[in-house]
């Protein structure tokens, strides 16, 4: 039974008693007389004016609202003993809520009703408050149990539900910003049809501080009619109100409600405060919890980074409690946070353990603060010690005393201090034993006064600090260097550092060259304080540098006056230096040589060979010598004998080439003339064989012509016969032409530059000139066919000249031996072979060989074993030079039947 029902029962009981005592009906309420069919006969009572109409003889349900008309169906006799809740149509469209009962009266029925409008309103208000209480409790509970990561999302959802339930178009929660003590929007919600007054994260400043959060909400504030200008700045021109939340720390939150028009009529000020508290209290609690967790995480991270942690001494149990992070730092991760004091002391190095234990006893007994540095016990002797700073103090008095402190890892600092101390000791020892003199000069009254000299001053110069004071130091400087010394001091004060060189007299009167390097130290205002520097005795180095300068001068004179061409160039053949003879040869000035490409006077093949030769220089074999051919503009070819020496860096990379050259043009031309003369002499010696080689086709042609003429005389000429004779004549003409052409090619000068060729060409040319003549003289030519196709580099005509010289010499030796021994069957054999690097051509005969005493002189110029007037003695010498210029070697030895000459040439790529 509700409170309204109980009240109604009390009212009914009281009315029943009144009915017994006073038969007249009270004027209170509403009284209707009805007939047996439920028609209204009369209306009386104080509530009668509140009805919208007062018809008589009409059914009762016509006066009721639609929902109440259903409860009075049937006859009045059926309504007896039932409580009736009837809603009448009141004046001005209002509804009159009543509750009453039916009882018989005379021939009809009497309906007695009381006004329960206020009772229903109170019950509706109670129900509304109960729902509000349940909603706020649910909001508060969900905010307390949700995860911190979802807290903003959950709060935003509840803020939206609050706005929808209380019909608030725009709502927000403002919290106090702890950083700047201003107000900031934590979360906000705006309906789709309402503009947003705030944004999440918006800074409101201190505009809410002028509102008193201690008093309940006033009606003016609740309805948005406050005249406070700061409040207007929060809501702009919109209506709204604010609900404060205050906790133990003061005013902590505001619930801002914008565009509110008061639709929720059953919500009072206390309900608004409860709603704000349901939102703000758990939110602030969770945010403070989050900040607390973050603070703990920062503290743990800081302890981990610093290697520190707190400890608390528990004298009653002789234990010590350590922070978890400190346990991990001390490698006690598996142990409990409480450790026996003795166990903890066992971690300390024995050298520091007793002192720490004594200070802990003083902390307990005397309250003396603890501050000490200790080392931890470590097993590895090679490991650096771990140093900890232990600090502790007493908190509280009497029985509430606590002994609390912390341990801080200072290993880096302590080890650095030890290293610095060791380095300082080494520095002191180094300064004392250094050959350099370390000095300090104080800045006093605009001048630098000597204040310190290292112990090396006396062994070096024989002076002491007293001898080298401000007044006497300048007198020890060499007279020619004093102005330099004074300028040194002015430059040091002006620029802050200086480097100079001057002479200083020692105690024996000898002058020493000193290298002076100094730096000026200033205070925080930029004023000079002192200068720190050193003197280094560079007397020997200075004298040596002077000797080097003089040596360089002599070297320069030697290079410039040398008749040889001297230069330096980079690996890309760009000149960096050239002396006067080179410049004169190239018809330019010496200063124009740097930057010139040395390869511009070389052919493409010569340049490639030159670069390849330079690339083969190594630090172990840095020198290379070769003959190079240059084509100078407007001049004939020039030949230089060129010697290069590579200069390498520390990595073995070629950085520069130093070269010395001499002009070998005249010698080379003489060699060419000599070779050409030898070639022409060879042609002269082969004249008889060549005449036979030419006469042979002439005889064939003559016989063919005679036979044709005889046929013509007899008139027996046939076309086929004439054709065959003419073709024979043409073949012999071509044979003679080939011999003449080869003689012309062989007799001309060789090309200037060497070219790759097949050595088989030289063999074929040699045989074409000599084979018929040799056979005519009864000399058999034995040829082994070549089974290779390789190339060598040189001149094909010159190799042919070499082979011709060898075969002619063999022929002459064979003919000479046959005169002595007619039974000799002379022969000359030619065969060749090759490997991966060389090709070898052998010329062998059966003339009995060469006297071993003459083998060493066989290639000397003008040396011959032939009679006077026969031969020049240049054939083998020229042949030897030709083969050598081609990079090969000509050698001779005696075989089983006679001499064996070998021409060995390097193989090159085609």
Q: Which residue ranges make up each domain of the chain? A: 3-115, 135-294, 307-416, 434-543, 562-663, 672-908
Q: What is the CATH number of domain 3-115?
A: 3.30.450.20
pLDDT in tens, 319-366: 888 888 788 777 765 556 788 888 888 888 888 999 999 999 899 888
How would DSSP label each residue in 271-311? HHHHHHHHHHHHHHHHHHHHHHHHHHHHHHHHHHHHTEEEE
Task: Please tell me what DSSP assigns to residue 621.
Answer: S
Does residue 554 or residue 11 have the better pLDDT? 554
- Provide the sign of the torsion angle of the four alpha carbons 282, 284, 287, 293, taken in this order: negative
Q: Which of 188-197, 372-381, 485-494, 556-565 has the lowest mean pLDDT?
A: 556-565
Q: What pLDDT does residue 483 have?
A: 92
CA 768 to chain centre: 73
Cβ contacts of 509 within 8 Å, gap of 6 or more: none
How far is the C-alpha of 208 from the C-alpha of 211, rounded, in Å?
A: 6
H or E element, residue 126: helix 117-145
- Range 562-663 has CATH code 3.30.450.20: yes
Q: What pLDDT does residue 139 have?
A: 86
Contact (CB, 8 A) for 32 and 40: yes
CA 543 to chain centre: 49
Contact (CB, 8 A) for 524 and 537: no
3-class DSSP string for 767-815: HHHHHHHHHHCCCEEEECCCCCCCEEEECHHHHHHHHHHHHHHHHHHHH
- pLDDT confidence bin for 216, thresholds 50/70/90: very low
Q: What pLDDT does residue 11 have?
A: 42
Contact (CB, 8 A) for 704 and 728: yes
CATH architecture of 307-416: 2-Layer Sandwich (3.30)
pLDDT in tens, 858-895: 777 655 666 544 555 567 777 888 888 888 999 988 88
CA 587 to chain centre: 53
| Mean pLDDT (whole number) for 110-121 | 84
The answer to whether the 3-115 and 562-663 domains have the same CATH topology is yes
Strand pairing category for 780-783 and 827-834:
parallel
Q: What pLDDT does residue 418 have?
A: 83
Q: Please state, for a pLDDT cut of 90, what percent of the chain lies above it.
A: 13
SS3 463: coil
**pLDDT above 50 for 244:** yes
The whole model's pTM is what? Answer: 0.40
3-class DSSP string for 406-422: EEEECHHHHHHHHHHHH
pLDDT in tens, 543-596: 888 887 777 677 777 777 777 888 889 998 899 888 888 888 888 888 888 988
pLDDT in tens, 754-786: 788 888 888 887 887 777 778 878 888 888 877
- Range 434-543 has CATH code 3.30.450.20: yes
Residue 873's CB is within 10 A of a number of other CB atoms, namely 13
692: left (phi over 0), alpha (psi -120 to 50) or beta: alpha
Q: What is the mean pLDDT of the chain?
A: 80
Contact (CB, 8 A) for 275 and 257: no
Task: Please tell me what DSSP assigns to residue 508.
Answer: T
| Mean pLDDT (whole number) for 786-804 | 81
**pLDDT above 70 for 19:** no
| Mean pLDDT (whole number) for 16-34 | 58
Q: What is the CATH number of domain 135-294?
A: 3.30.450.40
H or E element, residue 260: none
pLDDT in tens, 612-645: 888 889 988 888 888 777 777 666 677 788 888 8
pLDDT in tens, 258-298: 887 665 456 778 888 888 888 898 998 888 888 888 888 88
Q: What pLDDT does residue 545 have?
A: 82
SS3 of the chain: helix, strand, coil, percent, to 5: 45, 25, 30
Q: What pLDDT does residue 187 have?
A: 92
Cβ contacts of 324 within 8 Å, gap of 6 or more: 300, 309, 337
How far is the C-alpha of 839 from the C-alpha of 552, rounded, in Å?
A: 50
3-class DSSP string for 28-80: CCEEEEECCCCEEEEEECCCHHHECCCCCCCEHHHCECHHHHHHHCCCHHHHC
Most confidently predicted of 494-498, 560-564, 694-698: 494-498
- pLDDT confidence bin for 219, thresholds 50/70/90: very low
**pLDDT above 60 for 226:** no
Q: Which of 434-438, 837-841, 898-902, 903-907 has the lowest mean pLDDT?
A: 434-438
Q: What pLDDT does residue 513 have?
A: 92
**pLDDT above 70 for 748:** no
| 683's tokens | 């042609």
- pLDDT confidence bin for 735, thresholds 50/70/90: low
Q: What pLDDT does residue 700 have?
A: 63
Does residue 674 or residue 151 have the better pLDDT? 151
Q: Which of 107-111, 665-669, 788-792 has the lowest mean pLDDT?
A: 665-669
Q: What pLDDT does residue 222 have?
A: 44
pLDDT in tens, 376-385: 887 665 667 7
| Mean pLDDT (whole number) for 165-194 | 86
Q: What pLDDT does residue 12 have?
A: 43
Q: What pLDDT does residue 26 have?
A: 47
| 279's tokens | 């939102």
Cβ contacts of 382 within 8 Å, gap of 6 or more: none
Q: Which CATH number fits domain 672-908: 3.30.565.10, 3.30.1370.110, 3.40.30.10, 3.40.228.10?
A: 3.30.565.10
How far is the C-alpha of 84 from the C-alpha of 80, rounded, in Å?
A: 9
């Amino acid at each position: 039974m509700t409170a309204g029902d109980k009240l109604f029962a009390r009212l009914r009981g009281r009315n029943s008693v009144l009915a017994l005592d006073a038969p007249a009906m009270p004027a209170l309420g509403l009284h209707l007389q009805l007939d047996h069919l439920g028609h209204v006969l009369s209306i009386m009572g104080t509530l009668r004016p509140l009805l919208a109409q007062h018809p008589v003889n009409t059914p009762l349900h016509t006066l009721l609202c639609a929902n109440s008309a259903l409860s009075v169906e049937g006859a009045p006799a059926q309504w007896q003993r039932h409580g009736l809740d009837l809603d009448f149509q009141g004046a001005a469209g209002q509804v009159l809520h009543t509750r009453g009962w039916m009882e018989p009266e005379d021939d009809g029925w009497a309906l007695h009703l009381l006004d329960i409008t206020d009772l229903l309103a109170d019950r509706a208000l109670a129900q509304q408050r109960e729902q509000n209480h349940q909603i706020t409790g649910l909001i508060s509970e969900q905010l307390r149990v949700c995860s911190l990561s979802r807290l903003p999302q959950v709060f935003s959802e509840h803020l939206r539900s609050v706005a929808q339930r209380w019909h608030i178009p725009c709502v927000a929660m403002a919290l106090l910003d702890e950083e700047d003590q201003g107000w900031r929007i934590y979360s906000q919600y705006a309906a789709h049809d309402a503009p947003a007054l705030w944004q999440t994260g918006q800074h409101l400043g201190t505009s809410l501080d002028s509102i008193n959060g201690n008093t309940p909400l006033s009606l003016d504030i609740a309805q948005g009619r406050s005249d406070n200008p700061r409040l207007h700045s929060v809501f702009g021109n919109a209506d709204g109100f604010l609900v404060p939340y205050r906790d133990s720390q003061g005013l902590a939150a505001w619930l801002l409600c914008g565009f509110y028009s008061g639709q929720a009529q059953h919500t009072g000020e206390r309900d608004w405060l409860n709603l704000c508290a349901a939102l703000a209290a758990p939110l602030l609690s969770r945010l403070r919890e989050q900040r607390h967790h973050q603070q703990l995480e920062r503290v743990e991270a800081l302890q981990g980074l610093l290697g520190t942690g707190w400890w608390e001494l528990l004298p009653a149990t002789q234990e010590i409690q350590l922070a978890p992070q400190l346990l991990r730092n001390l490698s006690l991760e598996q142990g409990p946070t409480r450790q026996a004091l003795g166990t903890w002391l066992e971690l300390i190095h024995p050298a520091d353990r007793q002192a720490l234990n004594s200070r802990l006893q003083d902390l307990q007994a005397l309250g003396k603060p603890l501050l000490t540095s200790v080392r931890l016990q470590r097993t590895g002797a090679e490991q650096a010690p771990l140093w900890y700073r232990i600090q502790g103090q007493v908190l509280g008095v009497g029985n509430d005393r606590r002994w609390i402190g912390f341990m801080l890892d200072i290993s880096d600092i302590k080890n650095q201090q030890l290293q610095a101390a060791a380095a300082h000791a080494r520095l002191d020892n180094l300064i004392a034993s250094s050959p350099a003199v370390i000095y300090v000069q104080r800045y006093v009254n605009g001048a630098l006064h000597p204040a310190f000299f290292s112990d090396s001053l006396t062994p070096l110069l024989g002076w002491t600090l007293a001898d080298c004071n401000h007044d006497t130091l300048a007198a020890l400087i060499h007279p020619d260097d004093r102005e330099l010394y004074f300028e040194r001091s002015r430059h040091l004060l002006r620029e802050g550092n200086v480097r100079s060189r001057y002479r200083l007299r020692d105690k024996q009167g000898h002058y020493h060259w000193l290298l002076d390097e100094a730096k000026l130290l200033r205070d925080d205002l930029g004023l000079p304080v002192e200068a720190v520097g050193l003197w280094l005795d560079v007397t020997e180095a200075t004298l040596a540098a002077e000797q080097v300068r003089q040596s360089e001068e002599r070297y320069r004179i030697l290079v410039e006056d040398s008749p040889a061409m001297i230069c330096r160039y980079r690996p890309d053949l760009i000149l960096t230096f050239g002396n006067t003879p080179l410049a004169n040869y190239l018809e330019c000035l010496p200063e124009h040589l740097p930057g010139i490409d040395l390869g511009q006077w070389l052919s493409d093949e010569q340049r490639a060979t030159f670069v390849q030769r330079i690339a083969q220089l190594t630090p172990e074999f840095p020198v290379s010598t070769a003959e190079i051919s240059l084509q100078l503009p407007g001049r004939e070819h020039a030949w230089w004998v060129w010697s290069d020496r590579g200069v390498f860096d520390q990595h073995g990379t070629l950085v520069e080439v130093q070269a010395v050259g001499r002009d070998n043009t005249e010698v080379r031309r003489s060699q060419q003339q000599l070779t050409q003369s030898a070639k022409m002499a060879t042609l002269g010696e082969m004249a008889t064989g060549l005449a036979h080689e030419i006469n042979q086709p002439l005889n064939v042609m003559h016989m063919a012509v005679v036979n044709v003429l005889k046929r013509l005389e007899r008139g027996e000429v046939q076309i086929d016969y004439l054709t065959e004779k003419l073709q024979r004549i043409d073949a012999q003409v071509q044979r003679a032409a080939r011999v003449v052409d080869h003689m012309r090619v062989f007799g001309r000068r060789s090309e200037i530059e060497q070219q790759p060729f097949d050595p088989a060409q030289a063999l074929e040319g040699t045989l074409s000139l000599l084979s018929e003549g040799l056979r005519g003289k009864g000399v058999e030519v034995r040829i082994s066919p070549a089974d290779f196709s390789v190339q060598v580099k040189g001149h094909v005509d010159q190799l042919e000249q070499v082979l011709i010289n060898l075969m002619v010499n063999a022929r002459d030796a064979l003919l000479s031996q046959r005169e002595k021994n007619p039974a000799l069957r002379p022969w000359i054999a030619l065969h060749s072979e090759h490997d991966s690097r060389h090709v070898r051509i052998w010329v062998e005969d059966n003339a009995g060989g060469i006297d071993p005493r003459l083998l060493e002189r066989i290639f000397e110029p003008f040396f011959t074993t032939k009679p006077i007037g026969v031969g020049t003695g240049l054939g083998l010498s020229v042949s030897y030079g030709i083969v050598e210029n081609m990079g090969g070697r000509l050698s001779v030895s005696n075989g089983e039947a006679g001499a064996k000459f070998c021409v060995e040439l390097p193989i090159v790529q085609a």
